[in-house]
Structure 1
Amino acid sequence: MKNKQYDLIVIGSGAAGMISAIVAARDGKKVLLCEQQNKLGPKLKATGGGKCNLTNTLSNEEFMNRFGKNGRFMQDALNDFNYQDLISFLNNIGVETHIPDGFRVFPISHNSGTIIKALEDELYNQNVEVKNNTKVEDLICENETIKGVKTATDNFFAPNVIVATGGLGFSMLGANGDGFDFAKSLGHKITQLYPAMLPLITKEKWVANCKADTIAKAIIKIDLKKAKNLKAVGDLIFTPKGIRGPVVLDFSREITPFLEKYGEVPLLINMIKGMNEDDVFKHIKTHPEKNIEDVLTLLLPNSVVKELCLLVDADLAKKFKDLNGQIREKLVKILVNTPLTVIDHVGFEKAMITRGGVTLKEINPKTMQSKIIDGLYFCGEVMDLDGPCGGYNLQWSFASGNLAGKLLK
């Protein structure tokens, strides 16, 4: 029984779990890290398509703003461990980083395996006991105080347990929502869970004819009164069944809750870099000799032009001035605001993150410790905080894991 007593048990080997174990071990704590997969960092390996966009160079204030109303919760964690601290920490364990576009931070290798190997080596250097293929089935708790964890074959004991299990995203990599179950079993509230950062399926079938084209700086809005202030800008990619691309991955976290509520979500998309109707008229007038197809292909890929013209019965071979007045008006309007209707998504299996989680009201932002159970901590995606693409969620995982690893005891 003696060898099963620890100062800290960490459940999960993502960014949050591994850094929390390292921080605690550096402070002299005896740490056990439990991972249900046979290798550490399975989801971290897939981050950013394997290129591992670690963080970005935004100020803490602006960084928090990108997370919406819950962003302020991050203040203490970011003040203690911002992007510069993360770069320094990684450099300390042998990972060189760079900022090729002046904003996003990557390992120089652009390979997530570099990060995982360095963290794994540091766990070993700090004498953290790592148990792969070890699924925690329950938490041991007495009198609202954590005592340890149960697995199928053993009980392990510690006065501190960190739940760093992630969410439901990338279920093929082992995500199963265990952390939510652990929290709920001990009295924590779990907010509604939605898949986020994932491709979307549309009612409109014409998108399949445009799947070879990428639209730069597309602007997406949700055409609902309750969402009038929500929009996203970025590259849009059509698929055989809908839309994807960075702008869709970012904005899907706003769309999926509405989809759950209404069954379908109307979108308006500006694919012409924010041009308004007057801008479109001016553009057309500067090319009076060109037919519709040629003049609009200066703004959009030809496949998209053809589909939009079909939608409003505009003859591609005609010049703009020769079109029926109503058709001219419809054509300009659909160029400025192309309607699409989201009717489904690809599910948690292909969702990069989860929107929702353990409610933040029940977690101390200065320590990441539960306000309900003494010695229980949360960090990373298991909490009700999610951000857009661009290193936001990984920075939050590292920052919250760092803070949780400092422990109160």
Structure 2
Amino acid sequence: GGISPMFPPPEGSSAGAASNSNRFKIHLADGATHICSKLIIATGGLSYPATGSTGDGLQWARSLGHTITPLFPSLTALVPRGYKDAKRFFADAQNDSGNCRSSYSADRGRGPASSKDSSAEAAGAEVSSGGISPMFLPPEGTSAGAAVLPDLKRHIDRAVPLTEFGQKLCGVSLKNVNVTLLIQGTAAEEEFGDIDFTDGGIEGPIGFQLSRKAVKALVNGSKVALSLDLKPGVSLTDLTVRVKDLWAEIDRDPRSQRLREKERCRILLGKLMPWELIPAFTAAHPEIITLERRGRADTKVWVNLVSIAKALKDWKFDIEGHVGWERAVITAGGVSTDDVVPKTLESRLVPGLHFCGEALDIDADTGGYNLQLAFCTGYLAGQNASDC
């Protein structure tokens, strides 16, 4: 399908012209056509392509001379390093000809990809019955790219299996924590609230909130990390005192006298965090347990209380990538707002053409704001398009 303007296009536009009647001809996939004098592109972005939002409207807009700002997934899961076995997964999916994902199907409701599809998907493309549309619209005059292994610093699909560390974290939900987004080692954003560890990675309200800046930084090649503060209400000094007091209580408890040091440490951590978080916390922070070898058969185990307090206040996750279009809630980027009239959402370049929703370069935080944007812009575009 596609759109043909039936009027002289803007100077420099590649769109064809059939007459000077200020009308549009809509070409459907089944060969049918429709002609109209007003047109609204409300096709959404690239998120959840299984629902049909595969970026067609953005390509139509660009073919009519509009600027499309860089597109990337937003409100999506962030994948910590070591959370998913991405490298082995894609290596196993690479076939003899050098294409990848030969037997791999993402969350798009399709069966195994054919060999002719694999090179397009490897280049970052969605394959639909109507052909191939790039997930990141390439610059004018370029193709979607050749068959290469996906950039693991960016898109890591939910289908990629969890590592042992990921399995320990998956399913854990944390409330009232503070998370700081670090880009190139510098704090870029900070949020307080709840996060979830899922099969995709770090999600939940503040995980999604931080994902926009995080994904944009990853796409641009920057180093991204999250710092998790499990005890935001107390300072490191006060928390260290609290940890030492709890350890003294455990030490005085007669029931703990026969327990090994590692078991007593687990009891201590159970007083400081949800029990289900302990296996991942101890795996991520081996420094909290120190082994002191005193002789051939004599080893002393030390629990580093100061290290526990520091880890509770600053649990670092280096971010390796993000879940892509198949499960991203929204698309960041779109038709440049410089190309539309704010009060009517009509194109400044093509009279009678309006845009609304995620087709435009507007997006917001999680919490219903993107739905509100869709409703408001849809109403505004429809009201003005119908005003003849």
TM-score, with length taken from structure 2 = 0.63
Residue 288 of structure 2 aligns to a residue whose secondary structure is: coil
Q: How is 1:2-401 mapped onto 2 (pairs within 5 angstroms)?
A: 136-144=1-9, 146-152=22-28, 153-205=31-83, 206-224=165-183, 228-240=187-199, 242-262=201-221, 264-287=223-246, 288-290=248-250, 291-310=264-283, 311-315=285-289, 327-401=304-378
Residue 249 of structure 2 aligns to a residue whose secondary structure is: coil
Partners of 2:317 and 2:6 in 1: CA distance: 50
**Is contact 1:208-1:241 (8 Å) kept?**
no
**Is contact 1:368-1:378 (8 Å) kept?**
yes
Cα distance, 1:141 vs. partner?
4.2
**Is contact 1:144-1:374 (8 Å) kept?**
no
Cα distance, 1:227 vs. partner?
5.9
* Greater helix share, structure number: 1
Cα distance, 1:226 vs. partner?
8.3
Residue 220 of structure 2 aligns to a residue whose secondary structure is: helix
Partners of 1:189 and 1:148 in 2: CA distance: 20
Structure 1 335/204 Cα, relative in aligned 2: closer, same or farther at 3 Å?
A: farther
**Is contact 2:226-2:316 (8 Å) kept?**
yes
- Aligned positions, number: 269
Cα distance, 1:241 vs. partner?
6.2
Structure 1 225/366 Cα, relative in aligned 2: closer, same or farther at 3 Å?
A: same
Cα distance, 1:174 vs. partner?
0.9
Cα distance, 1:228 vs. partner?
2.5
Unaligned runs of 5+ in 2: 11-21, 84-164, 251-263, 291-299
Cα distance, 1:281 vs. partner?
1.9
* Greater Cα shift, 202-211 or 381-390: 202-211
Cα distance, 1:181 vs. partner?
0.6
Structure 1 232/139 Cα, relative in aligned 2: closer, same or farther at 3 Å?
A: farther
Residue 235 of structure 1 aligns to a residue whose secondary structure is: strand
* Greater Cα shift, 241-250 or 359-368: 241-250
**Is contact 1:235-1:246 (8 Å) kept?**
yes
Partners of 2:233 and 2:364 in 1: CA distance: 24
**Is contact 1:186-1:373 (8 Å) kept?**
yes
TM-score, with length taken from structure 1 = 0.60
Identity %: 28
Structure 1 283/329 Cα, relative in aligned 2: closer, same or farther at 3 Å?
A: closer
Cα distance, 1:238 vs. partner?
1.9
Partners of 1:155 and 1:345 in 2: CA distance: 39
Q: Deviations over 1:286-323 (max 9, x none)?
A: 4331354333323312232343334243249xxxxx99
**Is contact 2:178-2:192 (8 Å) kept?**
yes
